[in-house]
Every structure is written in structure tokens, then in C-alpha cells.
Amino acid sequence: MRAGDATPAHTAGRRDLGNRLRKSRGRLMANSMPQTGGVQGPLRIALAQTNLLVGDIEGNAETVIQRSCQARDEHKAHLAVFPELTLTSYPPEDLLLRPGLYLRVQRSLDRIRRQVHGIDVLLGLPHRDGEATYNAAFLLRDGVVRARCYKQNLPNYAVFDEMRYFQPGADSCVVEIGGITTAINICEDIWVPNPARAAAARGARLLLNLNASPYHQGKSAERESLVAQRAMDHGLTVVYVNLVGGQDELVFDGSSFVMNSDGTLAMRAPAFTEGLYTVDIVEAPEVHALPGEKEPQLPAEESIYRALLTGVRDYVDKNGFQGAVVGLSGGIDSALTLAIAADALGPDQVEAVLMPSRYTASMSIQDAREEAVALGVPYHIIPIEPTFQAFLDALGETLEGTSPDTTEENIQARCRGVILMAISNKRRRIVLTTGNKSEMAVGYATLYGDMAGGFAPLRDVPKMTVYRLSEWRNRQAPVIPQRVLDRPPSAELAPDQKDEDTLPPYPVLDAILELYVEQDRSRKDIEAAGFDPDTVKRVLAMVNRNEYKRRQAAPGIRISRRAFGRDRRYPITSGYE
């Protein structure tokens, strides 16, 4: 990595962010309430839906202390429940291979034990026991570890690879909390029947489940349906606490909830919002949660848009960038990217750069300026014609006798990449690339050109979803000119160029990609679904041969069941067809 490149201010950025978060939350006095010695009336549980920073063990411990004291003093809660792997946050990945991490975890756990009294605290952490490492949950009460529970089912699919780091726990964990026989388990343990069944067999009637469950479309409804079935099958009231916030390409939506043993929802916390949310548990005639606030589940487009906002905001803030830069072309992808950046970071933290070429239509410049003004984002116009011509002149002798092709188109895209990265270097603002999932799937993008940048908000968003999200954003307040939504998409790198000159129509392309990339369907299956065999063959070939581009692309936010990257790992060099 060269000095001067606009890269995350790793240590300083994380420390500054942690300080800002801690100052904004205020200082709460620990130990200000004596231990009551028992629960009078309902057991009040605070679901600590928390945005944590991977690797910031001391900062995350400070958050636990402050939130626990807030739950005790302001919400009069008897128990605060935090997400999975609270102290390291999730996923810590190969940080778990660092021996010093466990010393820091232990020191931070001891600090919480010393400073928090008068409320039970249930939190997650990685724990070493002899030669084995576990994904653990600890129950703390007045400075004492009252229970230590190990995750039994380690997911090793999609974005998860916990078997790389942890050993599975063997036994269910059942304790008394507020006089109620309570089971404790972690995330994946609720997705399989055995842990809940074993806990119920040991007399548990309340189940506390700690989670770091990443978002994808429809995930909240899936969780609630599954947990309702577990609750009814085993006569358990389930408290489901989930992480919130962005971590690299993953976004955690929170959406914590409580499900009664009859399968009815007692409360639901809001999606993508950090906070403490309380529920009262009573025993008469059986253990159940009293009705609480039920935030509505978000409609599809709003849910995706909120996920994208969360991912962009946290990637920028947690890595210490001073804002974002977006190349604004007048097309739909850059229009949506600019809206997301402005909504996530604030318009004063975003710069738009218009870089017209000899092939840029005047309406593209007009539409780009109109959107920047509507959003309140400052913009610059930097024509690339002089730079493009300089490259053509420099290459003139070398390329003499050849005809114009994609070489000249890519030079234009790379001129723009250089300009954006120069601004990024000077401003310490990250370049947000604007490519969508459809383009990345088939390689309709230029390495070191429009792919140049640090983060890709639309990387997992298909083209037709880009249109739906843009229309949804305009219904909140019109910022994207209607002409941008109506015009045929074009890269504007050649005369009268249209995307459909190279690609199938986007509705067809997205449908094929859905079947092939997300559902792993074969070519014959896709053809049997009614698609033209030649088109299917061409699209699949483009997907397969462009893995090398995706490996070099900026990370982006995962919103689907199967995104490129963590989810879908294909070899670059392969003879498989």
C-alpha cells in the first residue's frame, strides 16, 4: 500500500470513532444501585440492540457498561441481554487467531464485572478453555460469572465459517434468572431443534438467544417464523436479541423481538436502530411476555434502502474517512449511489464529480447537476477530453494501425478513476463506486476505471432493483430527475451507445442471474424456465469468465441470500463449464 493513498485511518479512525460514540452516549455511573437480591413482580429484560465495532474490545466493553447501567437506572431492568460475541463484535474473523485478543477480552470482562452491579448482564465473547476456543455467552451477576454457555451449532455456510475458529459446545445451558428457569443459547442454536428441545426437557420455560444475524431481503420475517415454531414446539417464550450496524459487506438489521410460547409476537424492536428495548416476563399462569411495542416490519424497498444507508455510514465512519466522493454521470446507478451517500452521511460530507467526455449527452450533465442541487451536495465539473486525448496521443505510435474498440472506451473510464482517486487522496474521502450486481456479474465494468474506489454500495443490487429503489427514494422526496429513470441506460463511452447493445434487456438478464448466481440452477434448468438457450449460454459464460474482475472489485453491501464474495467463491482459473 503506497503512502498517500486514501485508505482507512485504521487505528486512529477506530479510536476516534469510539471516543465520539462514548462521548455522545454520556457517562453513566456504575454501582449506583444496590443489588436487590431478587425480582419483585415481572422480570424486566432490556434487549440491548447494539452497534459495535469489530476488534474494539475495550470500546465495546465500555458500551456494555454504559448500556447496562442505563438499562438498570432508566429502564429499571433486571437483566440486559447483548448480541453474540459482544466484546469482539461479529465477525472477528482471523482476529480470533491472535493470542493477545483473549487477554484483552478477559481484561475487559473483568472490568465489566467490577463496574456493573444491580443488574444481570448476558453478553457474548470468544472464550478459550484449555486448547479449545468457544463462541460463548457469559451471565454476570454482581461481579460473578453465574453461567458460561457455549454455542453448540457452528454455521459453516454462506457468509459463515465458524468451524475455522471454534469448537462446538456439547450441553444445553439452563439457569435461574429472577426465579424463572431460563435457557441460554447463541444464534444458530435456535435454527435447529435440538438445543431448544434439550433446554425444555431440563425445565426451561424462557429462552434467551444472542445473535449476530446478517440482513438479507426478507430475513426478519424468516427469523420470526422459525422462532415462533420453536416456541410452540417446546413451550418456550423466546427473547431474540440481534446485532445492528454495518461490518464490511455485512449489515446487521437488529429487528430484535420476543415470541411467546403460543407463537404470538410480544414485541419487536425497530430495524437498523440502536437502542434498549424492554419487555416484562411474568409467570402466571405460565411464563410469557406482556405485550410491548411492535415496530412494523419494513416494506421491501425501504428495508433494502435502510440496509444500504447503514452499510455506507458505518463503513465510512468506522474506518475514519472524512466523507465520500461519487462520480456522477447522469445515469441511474450513480444517481442512486449519490442519494444513498447523501442520506447516509449528510450532503456536506459528500462530493459529486461530473466528468463529461466527447460522448456525454448534454442531458446527462443537466440531470446530474439537477440531482446534486436537489440533494444539496457540492459538485465539480471536470471534463476528461484533454486527459483522454493525451492518452491517445501517448499511445498513438504503439496502437497505430488498429481500429477503435473497447480499449478507447476503457481509457475514458480510467481517466475518470484517476480523477476520483486524486480527490479522494486530497480530501480523505472514500470513492464510492457505482456499479450494480447485474454489471458485476457479467463483467460490464472497467478495471481501474469505474471499478476504482473503496466501497461499492450497489455491488449486490440488481439493475431492476436499482430502478425500484430510485423510485422509492423519489416518493420520499424527489431528487433523481425523472428523465434518468426513463432513459435507456448507457455507459456513454462510444457514439449512441446503449447497454442493450452488449447485454440482454435487464429484466431478462436479472432473471437469469437470479437463477444461476443465487439459486445455483443449471443451464438446462434456466432454459426450461423459458429463457432463450443462446442468451442463457452467453450470460453464463460472461459470469464465469469475469470472476477475475470481481476479485479486484471494491467490497460492497450484501442484501441478497447470495452475494459475490463471501457467499459465492469460485476459482478464477477453471476448466469447469
- HSE (CB half, 13 Å, CA atoms) of 504? 22
Q: Give the span between the Cα atoms of 291 and 259, in whole angstroms.
A: 10
3-state secondary structure (DSSP) of residue 128: strand
* Sheet of 173-177, strands arranged across: 173-177, 180-186, 206-211, 237-242, 257-259, 265-268
The amino acid sitting at 142 is D
Radius of gyration from C-alpha coordinates of the chain = 26
- Domains of the chain and CATH, by start: 44-296 (3.60.110.10), 302-503+546-551 (3.40.50.620)
65, 23 contact by CB (below 8 A): no
Q: Is 249 annotated in the active site? A: no
77, 278 contact by CB (below 8 A): yes
Q: What residue spans of 235-361 are helical by DSSP H?
A: 300-318, 332-345
- The strand pairing partners of 242, in sequence order, are 211
Q: Give the span between the Cα atoms of 125 and 377, in whole angstroms.
A: 42
- The strand pairing partners of 132, in sequence order, are 129
Q: Give the span between the Cα atoms of 575 and 577, in whole angstroms.
A: 6
Q: What is the pLDDT of residue 39?
A: 66
Active-site residue among 69, 151, 173, 351?
151
Q: What is the pLDDT of residue 541?
A: 95
Look at residues 279, 283, 310 and name the one whose alpha carbon lies nearest to residue 294: 279
Segment holding 523, helix H or strand E? helix 523-528
Q: Give the span between the Cα atoms of 185 and 239, in whole angstroms.
A: 11
Q: Is 74 annotated in the active site? A: no
Q: What is the mean pLDDT of each run of 10 residues along the chain (577 residues)?
A: 41 44 39 43 95 97 98 97 97 94 97 97 96 96 95 89 92 93 95 94 96 95 96 96 97 97 96 97 91 94 98 97 96 97 98 94 93 97 96 94 92 95 96 96 94 96 97 97 91 79 92 94 95 96 94 94 86 82
Distance from the Cα of residue 556 to its chain's centroid: 9
The amino acid sitting at 303 is S
Q: Give the span between the Cα atoms of 438 and 448, in whole angstroms.
A: 19
CB atoms within 10 A of CB 48: 26
Residues 6+ apart with CB under 8 A from 344: 308, 309, 310, 312, 313, 316
CB atoms within 10 A of CB 388: 18
Q: What is the pLDDT of residue 38?
A: 58
Look at residues 158, 85, 160 and name the one whose alpha carbon lies nearest to residue 125: 85
Active-site residue among 187, 219, 351, 439?
187
Output the nine-digit C-alpha cell for 190. 435456535
Distance from the Cα of residue 539 to its chain's centroid: 28
Q: Give the span between the Cα atoms of 475 and 468, in whole angstroms.
A: 11
Active-site residue among 84, 351, 371, 492?
84
Q: What is the pLDDT of residue 565?
A: 86
Output the nine-digit C-alpha cell for 281. 416476563
Q: Give the span between the Cα atoms of 563 and 457, in whole angstroms.
A: 13
Residues 6+ apart with CB under 8 A from 206: 177, 180, 181, 182, 183, 236, 237, 239, 281, 287
91, 84 contact by CB (below 8 A): no
Output the nine-digit C-alpha cell for 456. 461499492
536, 545 contact by CB (below 8 A): no
Output the nine-digit C-alpha cell for 490. 448507457
185, 151 contact by CB (below 8 A): yes
Q: Is 463 annotated in the active site? A: no
Residues 6+ apart with CB under 8 A from 350: 323, 324, 325, 326, 338, 341, 342, 375, 377, 378
Q: Give the span between the Cα atoms of 52 and 54, in whole angstroms.
A: 7
Q: Give the span between the Cα atoms of 118 and 78, in whole angstroms.
A: 8
Quote helix, strand, coil % in the chain, to nearest 5.
Answer: 40, 20, 40
54, 95 contact by CB (below 8 A): yes
258, 34 contact by CB (below 8 A): no
- The strand pairing partners of 44, in sequence order, are 280
Output the nine-digit C-alpha cell for 140. 454476570
Q: What is the pLDDT of residue 2?
A: 37
